[in-house]
Structure 1
Amino acid sequence: MFFRPLLDLFFPPLCHACRAFIPEAGELFICADCLDKVAFLTTPLCTVCGAPFATDQGSDHTCGACLTHPPLHTCRSAAILEGPLPQLIHRFKYGGRVQLSLPLGLLAISALSEFCTEAAPDLIVPVPLHKKRLRQRGYNQSQLIAQVLAKKLELPLEVGNLRRLRWTEPQTTLDAAKRVANVKGAFGVREAKRLEGKRVLLVDDVLTTGSTMRACVDALMDAEVSAVAAVTVARGVQP
């Protein structure tokens, strides 16, 4: 393209993570070096919650926690929250860098396309923000990621039906037990008939203890959806 060198001069394609120049940026805009530092989750994983096992040997199987307390959904995350991901997600979530929804969404779908296909969802639902936090931030980061997944998977996006019924404190400041109590009963469905009998793909940015996801699943199951599969871009490392 004749104008490509000129565009690169004035608007050079830079890596979202390290700001290095990328001659062939594509849609991702993450350089090969930074991409190599993304710790994508691979087998062996728990077949239910998607938690990685300590060993890199063996096959996928159900973890002890899911055998003891079976959850209401299956969940997968694309990668561990380390390498360039913490910085990218923090800038996206708290720094107003909404353009990062595309590379984060593309990373998610590149790792989770098989899981999403096998889940056979009828629609995608993002984890909602409380209206107060939405006004503060100006956007719902989970919804922006869900938009990327909806486009790639060619599925409808259901926004505004699953909603937060009350204000909750930021989960990052709480331990595991307090996280569960903080979001218990915090979500509800506005129009249950729109979701009744549907298979739902629930989308969030980061999974830590899973308490927010479980509270959302509770609300969706109350609306009589037939199944929920949950996906996130990253999964926090458990101590």
Structure 2
Amino acid sequence: MFFRPLLDLFFPPLCHVCRAFIPEAGELFICADCLDKVTFLTTPLCTICGAPFATDKGSNHTCGACLLHPPFHTCRSALILEGAVQQLIHRFKYGGRVQLALPLGLLAASALTDFCAEAAPDLIVPVPLHKKRLRQRGYNQSQLIAQVLAKKLKLPVEVGNLRRLRWTEPQTTLDATKRVVNVKGAFVVREARRLEGKRVLLVDDVLTTGSTMRACVDALLRAEVSAVAAVTVARGVQP
């Protein structure tokens, strides 16, 4: 392209992580060195909740927690929340870097395509923010990720139907038990008829304890969806 060198001079393609110049940035805008530091969640995983096992050998199987208390949905995350991934999500979520939705969404799509195909969703529902937090932040990071996934999966996104009814404390400040209590009953489906009988792909940016996801799933099940599969870009993994 004739104008490419000129564009690179004035708007050099830089890595989103380390800010190094990338001659061939592609869609990700993440250099090879930083991409090598991104850890994808791989087998063996729990076939239900997607939690990784503390070994790099073996096949996928159900974890002990899911055997004891089977959830009403399946979940997968694309990446481990550490290093470059943690930096990107922090900048995206708290630093106003909305352009990072694209590389984060593309990384998630590349890792979760097979899971999403097997789940066969009819539509995508992002985890909503409370209107107060939405005003503060100016955007819902989960919705932006959902829009990237929707384009890749060729699915519609249902925005505004699943709603967060009440203000909750940030989950990052709470332990696992308090997180469950914090979000219990916080979500509701406004127009159940729009989701009744549908297979839903629920999308969030990060999964830690899963309490927010479970609260959203409870609300979706009350709306009589036929199935829920949940995906996140990253997952916090206990050492």
TM bucket (normalised to shorter chain) is: over 0.9
Moved segments of 4+, more than 2 Å: none
1:36 match: 36
State the percentage of identical aligned residues: 90
Whole-angstrom distance in 1 between the partners of 2:181 and 2:161: 23
| Structure 1 residue aligned with 2:203 | 203
Uncovered stretches (5+) of structure 1, i.e. residues with no partner: none
Which one-letter code corresponds to 1:69 in the other structure? H
Name the TM-score, length of structure 2 as normaliser. Answer: 0.99
Alignment-derived partner of residue 131 in structure 1: 131
Residue aligning to 2:226:
226
1:60 & 1:108 partners in 2: Cα distance?
19
Alpha carbons 1:104, 1:233 under 8 Å: kept: yes
Q: How many residues align?
A: 239
Letter in 1 for 2:127: V
| Equivalent residue, structure 2, for 1:120 | 120
1:195 partner amino acid: L
Q: Which amino acid aligns with 1:12?
A: P
Following superposition, the deviation at residue 19 of structure 1 comes to: 0.4
Which ranges of structure 2 fall in alignment gaps of 5 or more residues? none
Residue by residue over 1:39-61, the C-alpha shift from the partner in whole angstroms, topping out at 9 and shown as x without a partner, is 10000000000000001111000
Distance 2:132 2:72 in 1: 29
Residue 67 of structure 1 corresponds to which residue in structure 2? 67
Deviation at 1:72, TM superposition (A): 1.1
2:189 is equivalent to residue 175 of structure 1: no
Aligned to 1:83: 83
Residue 152 (1) aligns with residue 149 (2): no
SS of residue matched to 1:143: helix
RMSD: 0.5
The offset of 1:64, in angstroms, is 0.2
Distance 1:33 1:111 in 2: 19
Are 1:208 and 1:238, in contact at CA under 8 Å, matched by a contact in 2? no
Distance 1:238 1:42 in 2: 16
Q: 1:237, CA displacement in angstroms?
A: 1.8
